[in-house]
Chains A and B, each alone.
Chain A
Amino acid sequence: MSQRLAKEYRALSKTLGRDPEYAYIISLAPVSEENLRKWESLITGPPDTPYFGHEFTLQIEASEAYPLEPPKVQFQARCMPHCNVDFDSGRICLSVLDAAHWTPAWDLLHVVHAIWLLLASPEPDSPLDVDLACLVRAGDRSAHNSLIAYYLNGGSRGHCGHVSER
């Protein structure tokens, strides 16, 4: 399957910087040309969210079986306060990244886009950050947004316990 990632890489170099839909993607490329399985992406936060004006790094790892298996994607640790992201590890809870919902027809661009959309619409029913999810559920958008802004601007955050994988 090594051809597939090479092809995505070629296609991306044409798309990015030209398609205004993906203007928020500063970069999406392999970490090194030698290993096409490890990618990194730098994105800016969506407008009308507390993430706007901030940049975030996504770490992407495609397995041997990609695209038949979904890639592993996470934010850089302790950088993304979001109700579907485990702050300490950067792990993301998003259904398309789940083997059961993943479709081989999707590619890395799809994945980055889905994560970018998640920033604008948090999913409080599958929380990895209980505090933020509670605020979303309570409908308290302004408290939710200002808490995120506080963390993004360097507000300290205690160890938030772990969420186990099952």
Chain B
Amino acid sequence: MKEGSVYDEGFNDDDDDDSILLEFESGSDIEYDDTGLLRRDPGLASLSDEESGKGGNNGYYLDGATISSRNVVIPKDELYENDGVPKLSYRCLTTDQIYELMLERLERIQPIFDISYEDIIVLLQQYAWSEERLLEDWTENRDNVIVSCGLKLGHEPVASRGIRKHANFLCHICCEANKMKTFTLECGHEYCLECYQHYIKDKLLEGKIITCMSCPLALKNKDIDAIMGDNSSQKLMRSSIKGFIQKHSNHYKWCPFVDCNCIIQVGNISTLSEFPRFHLSPYVVCDNQHRFCFKCGLESHSPGDCHVAELWVKMAQLESANLNWVLTNTKECPKCGVNIEKNGGCNHMTCKSCAYEFCWICEGCWAEHGGGYYECTRFKKEDKNGAVESKNAIRKYTFYYKLFSEHENSAKLDWSLGLTVEQKVKALQENIGISWIETQFLPESIRALIEGRTTLKWSFPVAFYSDPSHNLTKIFVDNQSLLVSAVEDLSQLLQVKEPQKIIDRKLEFFNKARFVRSRDKALVECGRDLLCKGICIPHQ
């Protein structure tokens, strides 16, 4: 959960006109629990406590049903800001934290299953951590679930399991005869420890149940750790949780920023459908201050709403499939929904997860595509029908797209600038003896710069879809150029390298960054106005 935003932490002191930029922040209802590790909002906490009191299993799952049931508990007016604008309740987690939550949850549901903690982990792994589905199947046919997950039924005779010592063991995998240590499960398939270690090492990142090398019997976490001699099972759990997140992508989204491992979990996902009405988007901010749209999984795209962003991205994929644009480089598999990265010009995609083959451009099944290995013929046909009309539209699009990608590139440069700012802050502290808090105007400036740049970038799609003859569109374009100059000004100032000069010009940094913020906000407001008044109409 975020505590407010970069806008209200002593940087921008005129709080009263923050409405447009702050409406999604849900800072006020956050609590840290006693461990300080898991941050949860009281809605989740109180519900789970209540549930554990009853000892029941209904109502609070970590997958789909978990959170939707929460909406019943919270009074409706708490889900909205004062002006009726929907408010998103979310928290920022890591895979490890989600796993911890799973284990906490597991302790509560264990009494339902009459099997060990370790065995339930195997079951949950098989069910992609979906308790609801597991419980359903469990009630229906317990034995079936146990066997299909590679566990032994209680009444079956159990041979000894674990590591064994020998003088001279012939291992049938490596066919070496001098093995001293082996591992075996109840099935009696016994192989040398070295073979098992190699076998497990390769499987840890797949996140699926690891079985005996000869039969479907499952290795439990303690087996894995015993064989590997460390806590390797944690690696397996981490990759397994990744599978869970992919399967529940309506509640969980990875932060789209490069090298960021944050996962945002939204509590009240039913609220998501309320945003489009207001031409607003459900923005979330991860613990690394990355702002992104929970609906599209894209970086912040204001002043465009999700509809603008969606159509613009689609168009970019259609018309500039060859442009190396990072935002279009991942797509969900049309069949199984797993995220797929495109890493080259070829449009023939094969999903790693379900092996479905499809065309990157039209998302159609590749096999039905016929002939066209390099170009999507479906799209080409449409193009011919559209004749001259579509040619002009493409030319106009290309113009706006160029501007868009120009700011995209600048934003990338600003990112690297941001990295050097960290060193500057250090230099200020060391060379001039300034406290950490006093140096914060620098990172704040860089954030204002990057966010301003992002707004600029996404203002071109809005301009593209707007009626050019309308007066408000002209005002919008004027606002664009005002933000451009504010951003360029600040960007130039951030090139200053000498620590003393930076300190001398502190006020200038402060003012210029603040100016960018206010121009940014003005452009966002104006863009939303265009959308609300129907002057900007996104279309295909």
Please report A residues at the B interface, Cβ cutoff 8 Å.
1, 3-4, 6-7, 65, 67-69, 99-100, 103-105, 124-127, 130, 133-134, 137, 161-164, 166
Contact = CB atoms under 8 A, between A and B. Distances in A.
Nearest to B372: A161
A157 B213 CA distance: 42
Given A3-B175, A164-B346, A125 B355 contact: yes
Contacts of A7: 175
Nearest to B340: A166
Given A68-B202, A126-B355, A164 B195 contact: no
Given A127-B357, A166-B349, A166-B352, 13 more contacts: A1-B175, A3-B174, A67-B173, A68-B202, A100-B206, A103-B213, A104-B191, A127-B367, A130-B367, A130-B370, A137-B367, A164-B346, A164-B348
Contacts of A161: 373-374
Given A104-B199, A166-B343, A166-B349, A134 B173 contact: no
Given A67-B173, A166-B352, A103 B214 contact: yes
25 contacts: A1-B175, A3-B175, A3-B177, A4-B174, A6-B175, A7-B175, A100-B208, A104-B213, A105-B173, A105-B189, A105-B213, A124-B367, A125-B355, A126-B357, A127-B366, A130-B366, A130-B367, A130-B369, A130-B370, A134-B367, A164-B344, A164-B348, A164-B350, A166-B349, A166-B352
Contacts, number: 65
Contacts of B355: 125-126
B29 interface: no
B176 interface: yes
Nearest to A98: B355
A65 B198 contact: yes
A96 B429 CA distance: 59
A36 B212 CA distance: 27
Contacts of B348: 163-164
Interface in B179-227: 189, 191, 195, 198-199, 202, 206, 208, 213-214
A103 B202 CA distance: 12
Residue in A104, A137, A163 whose Cβ sees the most chain B Cβ within 10 Å: A104
B394 to A, nearest CB: 27
A149 to B, nearest CB: 22
Interface of B: 172-177, 189, 191, 195, 198-199, 202, 206, 208, 213-214, 340, 343-344, 346, 348-350, 352, 355-357, 366-370, 373-374
B331 to A, nearest CB: 12
Nearest to A95: B355
Contact of A68 (B172, B175, B198, B357): B198
A1 B367 CA distance: 41
A154 to B, nearest CB: 23
Q: Which 5 A-B pairs have the closest CB atoms?
A: A161-B373, A3-B175, A105-B214, A4-B175, A7-B175
Contacts of B175: 1, 3-4, 6-7
Contacts of B366: 127, 130
Contacts of B374: 161
B90 to A, nearest CB: 32
A80 B400 CA distance: 49
B343 to A, nearest CB: 7
Contacts of A105: 172-173, 189, 213-214
